[in-house]
């Protein structure tokens, strides 16, 4: 499997993403329906999380791209029953990170990495890959900060690949693949900058 940056970026531009199976074999996938997280008023922050985010001093310190590799490794380690992330994928995404296409949002508590997420940015689309938490609400805070950042920078699409019960609490929904591809094409035409 070719995991060079051009191959990965071309795949994302077409709505395709890589995953490792339990044996470590990496393949490219797509999804129909496709999960997205809305960037408009349909994005919902649960009341208890809104209260947590308003605390002064903040419960979590939030950073952007402070430790991309540690965030990705924590996402891999958080999956008790095996992960779709392996060391080859980490190496490939770290290369994308150094090229300015892969990004992380980290949450810290008392100087320790408490949660976070990472994904790939192309045009006005952000492809959320994975998230983890070591403290309650840490990954949720990272998600809220991600959405705020994408809104501020004019992004049009936040791709979650699939929806989960956890993401549905924030307004995540499934859309048909043809609608997703139309939204992706519009988003790819937007000159947005994540960093």
DSSP per position, 23-36: TS-EEEE--SSEEE
The 8-class DSSP code of residue 185 comes to H
Rounded CA gap, 159 and 39, in Å? Answer: 10
Q: Are strands 157-161 and 34-36 parallel, antiparallel or unpaired?
A: antiparallel
Domains and CATH numbers, the chain: 5-188 (3.40.630.70)
Q: What is the pTM of this model?
A: 0.95
Rounded CA gap, 51 and 45, in Å? Answer: 10
Local confidence band at 136 (pLDDT 50, 70, 90 cut-offs): very high
Q: Give the tens place of pLDDT for each residue, 163-195.
A: 999 999 999 999 999 999 999 999 999 999 998
What does the pLDDT read at residue 2? 85
Task: Compute the mean pLDDT over every residue in the chain, rounded to the nearest whole number.
Answer: 95
Q: Give the tens place of pLDDT for each residue, 46-62.
A: 999 999 999 999 999 99
| Burial class of 195 by CB neighbour count within 10 A (0 to 12, 13 to 18, 19+) | exposed
């Amino acid at each position: 499997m070719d995991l060079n940056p051009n191959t990965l970026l071309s795949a994302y531009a077409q709505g395709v993403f890589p995953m490792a199976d339990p044996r470590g074999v990496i393949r490219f996938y797509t999804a129909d329906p496709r999960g997205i997280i809305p960037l408009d008023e349909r994005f919902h922050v649960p009341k208890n999380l809104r209260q947590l985010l308003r605390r002064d001093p903040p419960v979590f310190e939030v950073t952007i791209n402070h430790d991309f590799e540690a965030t990705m490794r924590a996402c891999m380690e958080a999956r008790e029953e095996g992960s779709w992330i392996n060391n080859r994928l980490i190496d490939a995404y770290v290369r994308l990170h150094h090229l300015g296409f892969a990004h992380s949002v980290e949450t810290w508590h008392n100087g320790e990495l408490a949660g976070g997420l990472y994904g790939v940015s192309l045009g006005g689309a952000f492809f959320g890959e994975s998230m983890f938490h070591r403290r309650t609400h840490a990954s949720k805070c990272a998600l809220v900060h991600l959405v705020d950042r994408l809104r501020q920078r004019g992004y049009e699409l936040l791709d979650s690949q699939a929806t989960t019960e956890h993401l549905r609490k924030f307004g995540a929904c499934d859309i048909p693949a043809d609608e997703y591809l139309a939204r992706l094409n519009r988003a790819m035409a937007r000159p947005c900058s994540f960093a």
